[in-house]
Chain A
């Protein structure tokens, strides 16, 4: 698991650094913000870093609460951007409208409530979910609450992403959409995985990281496809091209 944590962080950092020049130029800063948040999240998901940050914050595991809210913010931004980019008006309305706001509010409350129900003070440091013995009943619900909102947004993103993958866009764009789609599916899958007892979930602990890798990898592909296609502009749809 440690390798996966570090690998995810490395991928996020790489994506973030790749986007620095564009962000400095003021182009698509929201995507840079998404990558920045994703990098922060994957940083806190690395056990040693989490421990260090949590010690600095007083060892009450407030960091795990912060991590959940950071994930929510990232997912919200991704959802808004992807639905806008894919011209999925209904999906955009679902995420930005009343339904989306209620989902966000309820999930935030559920995370906070389950967090307060847990005994955080005496919990052993080093686990993103405080897992003192007395918390065994509540901890899975805390995790599940933290994964509900990402699953909600991801499920909304699935139909427009499938359409994009099957469209006649340039190949790299479709590959990017496919990666984001995989990320969305893994994010949706991570919710039921959280509720399965750990010993029966088997090797499914990776779904979180697969989701992050899918989303971030897809964004990098979108960016890269735009980068290499930039000079030719609208060359595809011209009479000249149809002449020969």
Chain B
């Protein structure tokens, strides 16, 4: 459920009492028509709030927590190591595997952890699914769908598309009993810094993984990437066949 327009306007008046709507739109890069439409409908998207909060150099996390539906965000728990690792891109994980390998294979051996190339910022191409997988105890999807009324197949479809509404991300975190920032970072609503994560939190979590855990995790990621690529290739073959015969 996006933010109620009334509460949003109250918040906006509180943080920028003198700014006109036009000013707000100009500094935050939101189209005036978009904002006007959201206000008329009575529902303001979370991304709108985050953009304005960023433009005003405020903390998007605290501003989100100001709203009733996100009040749990204040004093949010820190992400678990598994959540942090889930926000590392597959290619970065593979790079870490190579870095830890013996110099003969282009690695640095035991010093590998310290010399791993810098991680690309979250979120990555499969952030959302990897985050949910990282906190899933096997029953999570059922609990989320029971709590929110979202059909399991719709939830899965969102994960596959690497999307999750902020509301569902929070509901997922609640159902899993983890901190609320993980999902918001995984969906790209907040950056790691805005979520209050330490700059090297993901790197530290990665370094803490044993060689076996890292390799197994990288293997799982590679396998699902392989599946995705094969499906895409298959679909592309089908499309090409249509074009060859009917185009």
Q: Is the CB–CB distance between B241 and A237 below 8 Å?
A: no
8 Å CB interface, B203-247 against A: 225, 228-229, 232-233, 235-236, 238-239, 241-247
Q: Is the CB–CB distance between A242 and B243 below 8 Å?
A: no
Q: Is the CB–CB distance between A31 and B229 below 8 Å?
A: no
Q: Is the CB–CB distance between A222 and B242 below 8 Å?
A: yes
Contact of A85 with B242 at beta-carbon distance under 8 Å, contacts A226-B247, A242-B228, A242-B229 already known: yes
Point out residues on A near B: beta carbons under 8 Å.
28, 31, 81-82, 84-87, 164, 167-170, 173, 176, 219, 222-223, 225-227, 229, 234, 236-239, 241-244
- 26 pairs from A and B in contact (CB 8 Å cutoff): A28-B244, A28-B245, A28-B247, A31-B246, A82-B245, A82-B246, A84-B245, A85-B242, A85-B246, A86-B242, A87-B241, A164-B242, A167-B238, A222-B243, A223-B246, A226-B243, A229-B243, A234-B233, A236-B236, A237-B232, A239-B225, A239-B229, A242-B90, A243-B90, A243-B91, A244-B125
Chain A residues touching B, majority SS: helix
Interface flags, B182-207, vs A, CB<8A=1, else 0: 00000000000000000000000000
Is B143 in the interface zone, CB < 8 Å from A?
Answer: no
**Min CB gap A9→B, angstroms:** 22
Residues of A with C-beta under 8 A to B247: 28, 31, 222-223, 225-227
Interface bracket on B: 20 to 34
Is B54 in the interface zone, CB < 8 Å from A?
Answer: no
Point out residues on B near A: beta carbons under 8 Å.
89-91, 120, 124-126, 225, 228-229, 232-233, 235-236, 238-239, 241-247
Q: Is the CB–CB distance between B246 and A244 below 8 Å?
A: no
Q: Is the CB–CB distance between B239 and A173 below 8 Å?
A: yes
Residues of A with C-beta under 8 A to B242: 85-86, 164, 169, 173, 222, 226
Residues of A with C-beta under 8 A to B235: 167-169, 237
Q: Is the CB–CB distance between A237 and B229 below 8 Å?
A: yes
**Min CB gap A108→B, angstroms:** 26
Instruction: Pick from A169, A227, A241: contact of B239, CB below 8 A.
Output: A169
Name the residue on A nearest B235 (C-beta): A168
